Structures are given as structure tokens and as C-alpha cells.
Amino acid sequence: MTIKSFFQLLLLPLSWLYGVGVFVRNKQFDLGLRKQVAFEIPLIVVGNLSVGGTGKTPMTAYLLNRLLPVKKSGVLSRGYRRKSTGYMEVTEFTAVSETGDEPKLIKQKFPHAVVAVSESRALGIATMIHENQELELVILDDAFQHRQIVAGLSLLLTEYDNPFSGDRLLPAGRLREPISGSKRADGIIVTKCPVTLTVEERNQLAIELATFHPQPVFFSYLKYGEPYHISDSAKKYLMKAGDEVLLFCGIANPKPLVSFLEQQSVIVHLFRFRDHHNYSTQDLNSIRSGYEKLKGKRSVMLTTEKDAVRLHAHKELIINEQLEIYCIPVEIVFFEEDGALFDEFIAAYVNSSVYIPQHALS
């Protein structure tokens, strides 16, 4: 027995207690004992059963890429670790400290989308619609457990390396709610798959994930783009074998990025910070110090787009100190026919005349 397994066993009683609380809460919603709010526009939930990153931001970007050309779309997020409270619409001038990094990144990538943050999803949607009369669709980021909202379409994301089917409830595991909660999803998306995943392997995992309810399972992987300078997106960095890369990031799971970089035959030096980390001047000095110690003829400071958004507060220092920091873009890509099937799946919902699930109207 490993040390990890031993501690998981010790924590199981707490997981059972936590599970009872979640079960009671969900049952109250199932039986109509807790109020739910429905809206007459398409609402798409992007969420997960576990804590940590499953690729919700790339998934939201994927949806916006396809929906914005046909629908005036919005994104509502909690705005994790933001300093502000209540409802706030994100603009190009809003500080990332007031919005959170992910909403700010989405607004940066999709300036024509309505992006807002609110702890209360119900209040947030109502305010978005009131202040943006032309709004036709809202994507709810990380809202699978927010059952006060009647979602028309719920997308449940799970990482290939950490599928919810093999996990445990908090605190022994990473699950926010029991695996049976997956039956509320209209579709399951497996993220961060190895590109070499076979059809047989996909079919086997799909059977494991859709145990409680027959639902479509789609498989995807991450595709990284060409790094660009955080102060000048036109300035690119072409990685070559043997390059030394000082990678610093504050994301939930940097393993896929590290793996990708190593596949490019570069030498990776990882400076890891906690998820959604707010960088300080001292952090940047430590990163620069580490970079200056690299021995390679070609080297680069690299981070993620989400981290780059959080570096905006230090823009003046970065320019004055001439810190050559690049960020690497990432997008979600579906396997073969899964892409077309998923797009049809989304279009069928968005183009339907009924946006509220029938069971919610009874």
C-alpha cells in the first residue's frame, strides 16, 4: 500500500459524510424542494465532477469560435480568486484582479462576446440579459454543480488521465459530488487524451463513463500553437531541439504542456506555482534569476496564456527590464468524426425551439 492510498483510506469517513451532504442537496433539487430558475435563451453549462483543471477554458473558446458567428453569445463565470464581489461585466480595461484570469482571457480572445462574472449564476444571467438585450445565448463556466439554474445543455468534462469513473469524493479523492451525478450531463467530453488513443480504447472508456445514463461521449486532445511574445503577439518563438525552456505557470495540471515540450526535444525547467497564482515582483525576479542560470545557447522564458493575463499588472516592469517572456496558445481538438458529431450535437440544441429541458417544465 502506498502512502497516498493509506491517507485516502483514513479520509474515507470524511468522504462519506461529505457524500451524504451532497446527496441530500441533489435530492432536494430532484424533488423540487429547492427553487430552480429557467431562462428562455440557450444555456450551455461547461463543468466537471472533480476539482482542478479539465480544460474548461479551451472548451469555452471552442464553443465561442463556433457560436459567435451565428448567435450573440455570452460567458458567465464565477471569476475565481477575483478581488471584486457581485456582478461585473468584463471589458478590455477591467483589471484581471477584479475579474479573475479566465474571464479576462476569454474577453481578450473574443472581444465581441459578452463576458461577465458573478457568484450567483441566476442573478448573473438575469443581469446579463437585462443589460444586453441582444444576447441570444450564454455559456456557464464551471457551473455543473450550480443547480439553481435549469441548463438546457450540460457538458461534463473529464481528463483522460484522471477520469471521474476511477475517482473518490473529497477529501479522499477529487470529486465534488458522487459519480452518479454524471447522469445530469447531456454529453461527456474526455479531454487531454494522447493523440495516439485508439478507437478501441475510446470505446472502452466511453462505456465506463456512461454507466449511469446513456449519453454521447466525445474525445479530444490539446493542440499547442506557436509561442508569441506577451507584449507583441506578432513576435514568435520557433522552438528547436536542444533549446532550454524555463516554463513557469500557475495552472492546475501542467503535465500535458511539459509532455508536449519534451516531445519537441527541448530541455524543460519547470517553475510551478499554485493554480490562479497572482505573480509578485519577487516571483518575476526569481524567474529571471533562474533563466539567467540556463547554460544553453538558445533559451526562452515560457508561460501559458492564462498566466500571461495575470502578468499584465507587471507590464511596465517587464518592458523596462526587457524580459523576453513568451506564452503558448492552446486549443481543444476532437478526434476524427467526434468533431463533426459534437458540432452537430451543439447545433441541434442551439437551433431547437425549446431551450429548457422538458422535465424542468413539468
CATH of the domain at 301: 3.40.50
Residue 239 maps to a domain: yes
| % the chain with pLDDT above 70 | 96
Residue 342 maps to a domain: yes
Angle, in degrees to the nearest 10, between helices 336-350 and 56-67: 60
Residue 159 has pLDDT above 90, yes or no: yes
Residue 36 maps to a domain: yes
Using an 8 Å Cβ cutoff, are 80 and 275 in contact?
Answer: no
Q: Are residues 173 and 57 in the same domain?
A: yes
Residue 18 maps to a domain: yes
pLDDT of residue 361: 43
Name all contacts of 112-116 with Cβ < 8 Å and 24+ positions apart.
112/68, 113/64, 113/68, 113/73, 113/74, 113/75, 114/72, 114/73, 114/74, 114/75, 114/89, 115/74, 115/75, 115/77, 115/89, 115/90, 116/74, 116/75, 116/76, 116/77, 116/87, 116/88, 116/89, 116/90
- Strand pairing partners for 331? 223
The boundaries of the domain holding residue 300 are 226-328
Residue 47 maps to a domain: yes
Q: Are residues 252 and 314 in the same domain?
A: yes
Q: Are residues 285 and 238 in the same domain?
A: yes
Using an 8 Å Cβ cutoff, are 150 and 37 in contact?
Answer: yes
Q: Are residues 33 and 169 in the same domain?
A: yes
Q: What is the pLDDT of residues 300-313, one digit of tens each?
A: 999 999 999 999 99
- 100 class by beta-carbon count within 10 Å (0-12 exposed, 13-18 middle, 19+ buried): buried
| Cell numbers 488513443: residue | 197
pLDDT of residue 356: 63
Residue 360 has pLDDT above 70, yes or no: no
Q: What is the mean pLDDT of the chain?
A: 94
Alpha-carbon distance 97 to 70, whole Å? Answer: 32
Residue 118 maps to a domain: no
Question: Domain count of the chain?
Answer: 2
Q: Are residues 321 and 342 in the same domain?
A: no
Q: Are residues 350 and 256 in the same domain?
A: no
Q: Are residues 275 and 323 in the same domain?
A: yes
Q: Are residues 50 and 162 in the same domain?
A: yes
pLDDT band at 213 (very low <50, low <70, confident <90, very high): confident
The strand ranges marked E within 198-252 are 217-224, 228-229, 232-236, 244-249
Q: What is the pLDDT of residues 77-128, one digit of tens each?
A: 999 989 999 999 999 999 999 999 999 999 999 999 999 999 999 999 999 9
Q: Are residues 162 and 306 in the same domain?
A: no
Residue 119 maps to a domain: no
Residue 94 maps to a domain: no
Name all contacts of 110-113 with Cβ < 8 Å and 24+ positions apart.
110/61, 110/64, 110/68, 110/75, 112/68, 113/64, 113/68, 113/73, 113/74, 113/75
Alpha-carbon distance 77 to 69, whole Å? Answer: 21
Q: Are residues 234 and 194 in the same domain?
A: no
Q: Are residues 63 and 144 in the same domain?
A: yes
pLDDT band at 212 (very low <50, low <70, confident <90, very high): confident
Q: Are residues 218 and 262 in the same domain?
A: no
